[in-house]
Structure 1
Amino acid sequence: MKYLMIVFVCAALLSGCKGELIDSVTKNELKAVKPQEGTISVKINDDYMLGNIDYSHSPLVVDPNAYSSNEIQRGDLVYFQYPPNRFQSAEKKSVLRVVALSGEKIRMKKGQVYLDGQRLNTFYGKDLYNDLDRLQREIKKKNLDDNEIENIKNRIRIVENDNVDEITVPENTIYLVGDNRAGALDSRQIGPIPISNVIGKVMGRLEE
């Protein structure tokens, strides 16, 4: 019986609890790093990654050679160039997070990411800036004025309308999403991004 219990627990961990896909490796932090030979320093001027961290606050260190010998991983932060799209006329570069890889099925419901039918249970599996559970707790607080209540209601509506029908990520593309979903121009609007548009991997913020 003890052996069977161990096997059951191991199987649950491998498959993810209650249909969940867990990423316990990727950390929600931006380390200070020194530039190395071959790396570049970039500055982004948007709030697509505004969550617990403001990625536009300081220059970022990007390694253009990171994927020459390594595969892109879910959770990676990549510096990339947008393909032509109807939302902007000029070519633009920015930073977004890899959420789904080629061949995976992705859908979103109320801001929550599901991959191959499993809930992505990690900090970037939902909107960091507009966390639905937190907002629903906040709106129940006493002594909120009318403006605060309306602001929270608007943010709740944004998350509840953040739905994406399931698609399969095509070969040689990745699905990129901003940690700040409400403010991001990402794969939800323009579709998966060609891997060839990835310039490099964000290694951290430039150490001062």
Structure 2
Amino acid sequence: MNKYLLMGMVVLLTACSPEVASNKMETITDNDTKPEVELVEPLESSLLLEWHSDNMNRGNHDYEILAHPRLVVDPDDREIKRGDVIFFKSPDFTIESNPHFNMPENYISRVVGLPGEIVEIKDGQVFIDDKKLDTFYSKLLWAGMNEKEFHVKRANRGDDEATKKYFATTMEPVKVEENTIFVLSDNGARGVDSRDFGVLPMNSVEGKILGYLKTDSKSTVKTRNIIDKSFVLKNAKIGLTQEKVEMIFGQVFVSGFEGNIETWMYDNVKNNYNYEQTVETVAFKEIKDENVKSQLFINFNDGKAIMYSYFYKGDDGKVWMYELNPDKTITEIAVSK
């Protein structure tokens, strides 16, 4: 009897020893950030963003304008926390496996790593300072599905090598330097993030996404479309109706007529910058100074698009015009010194 009692005590003491207890993985949790995107009223300074990418889709086309109201962005909130979804200026980088990749001028992603931390990914799981991140955005998913769920729902792609590689993503430790953050897309298989371009400078952040715009909101806050050159190249088509143009490019706030030609003007400004908006002139100086990132003029005749003129700052510092003409030919020239 004493022999068995002694063995039991040894087992109990071993189980309670610090060496054994240390095998339990430490975790970092985020109980404040909720998976659901709230409906919110915009602030006076808010931007309304129409987001078309599925890089944040967790299974309900989350953040996408085709399935939800516009996104409310607070450009003044700079208190970045883990779990925040931010709107930022895209960094300049290339993807070796896809040298022709053209990232939009602005993007959205979720903050995962904060200044001073070390971020690592092991088999699709995010770790912060060697501690397992335990929250709804801490593991690489595909539209909200883990590898097993993906295999069941999309059996025809379950054995795809690229799919397997994604779910088993491993990334060496990355130090998040001061004044930078590490961001990930919730639907990482369909987006780019710090796995591709590294840590993101804090000064690239242009606002924090608060939620979806309440559909009954009476707000007259200006809609912010991500209209850059790649978006124009993809979506500008001769013959689109005004209704279709509005669906693609968003609500227009500046328009005018000259004879039978109606012109709509869209712009992309920095930090809600205000300037004299007209459909007759192009703000060359503002584009050069990067207060206005781009302007797009769409001409209509009988309610159908007949010309697109997109103005932007080139790498040479000049203002350039990309134009899709009525005969579907393309002109691209520098229009300023």
The 1:174–1:23 alpha-carbon spacing in structure 2 relative to 1, beyond 3 Å, is same
Give me the whole-angstrom Cα distance separating, in 2, the residues matched to 1:90 and 1:156. 25
Deviation sequence 1:36-87 (CA, Å, 0-9, x none): 21111011221110113421133100001111xxx21000010111121124
- Match among 84, 87, 96 for residue 92 of structure 2: 84
- Determine if contact 2:59/2:143 at 8 Å carries over to the other structure: no
Q: Secondary structure at the match of 2:159?
A: helix
Where 1:124 maps in the other structure, the secondary structure is: coil
Query: Is 1:84–1:91's contact at 8 Å kept on the other side of the alignment?
Result: no
Name the counterpart of 1:65. Answer: 76
Question: 1:56 — aligned with what?
Answer: 64
- The correspondence of residues 58-207 of structure 1 with structure 2, limited to 5 A, is 58-67=69-78, 71-87=79-95, 88-89=101-102, 92-129=105-142, 134-136=146-148, 139=151, 148-154=154-160, 155-160=163-168, 162-207=169-214
Aligned partner letter, 2:200: I
**CA distance in 2: counterparts of 1:20 and 1:153, whole angstroms:** 31
TM-superposed CA distance for 1:136, in Å, is 2.6
Structure 1 residue identity aligned to 2:54:
D
Q: Deviations along 1:88-127, whole A, 9 cap, x unmatched?
A: 5565112100000111000101221000000100000012
SS in 2 for 1:188: helix
Query: 2 CA distance for matches of 1:79 and 1:123?
Result: 20
Taking structure 1 as the reference length, the TM-score comes to 0.79
Q: Which residue identity is paired with 2:123?
A: K
Q: Which letter does structure 2 place at the counterpart of 1:73?
A: K
1:11 corresponds in structure 2 to: none
Q: How does 1:13-52 map to 2 (within 5 A)?
A: 18-52=25-59
- Secondary structure in 1 matching 2:182: strand
Residues 1:63 and 1:89: Cα distance change in structure 2 (over 3 Å): same
Instruction: Considering Cα pairs closer than 8 Å and 6+ residues apart, tell me whether 1 or 2 has the greater RCO.
Output: 1
**Cα separation, 2, equivalents of 1:92 and 1:62:** 16
Q: Tell me, what secondary structure is at the counterpart of 1:153?
A: coil
Q: Which runs of 5+ in 1 are unaligned?
A: 1-16
Runs of 4+ in 1 over 3 A off after TM superposition: 87-91
CA–CA distance in structure 1, aligned partners of residues 103 and 175 of structure 2: 28
Give the whole-Å Cα distance in 2 for the aligned partners of 1:138 and 1:200. Answer: 33
CA distance in 2, matches of 1:40, 1:131: 27
How many aligned positions are there? Answer: 181
Identity %: 32
User: Does the CA contact (< 8 Å) of 2:120 and 2:171 recur in 1?
Assistant: yes
CA RMSD of aligned residues (A): 2.2
Q: Could you tell me how far 1:138 is from its partner in structure 2?
A: 6.6
TM-score (normalised: structure 2)? 0.50
Secondary structure, counterpart of 1:196 in structure 2: helix
Give 1:172 deviation, angstroms: 0.7
Contiguous gaps of at least 5 residues in structure 2: 1-23, 96-100, 216-337
Q: Report the equivalent of 1:9.
A: none
CA distance in 2, matches of 1:123, 1:56: 19
- The answer on whether the counterparts of 2:74 and 2:209 sit within 8 Å (CA) in structure 1 is yes
Q: Deviations over 1:119-162 (max 9, x none)?
A: 10000001242667x433675x6xx9xxx4341223344211x1
Which structure has the larger Rg? 2
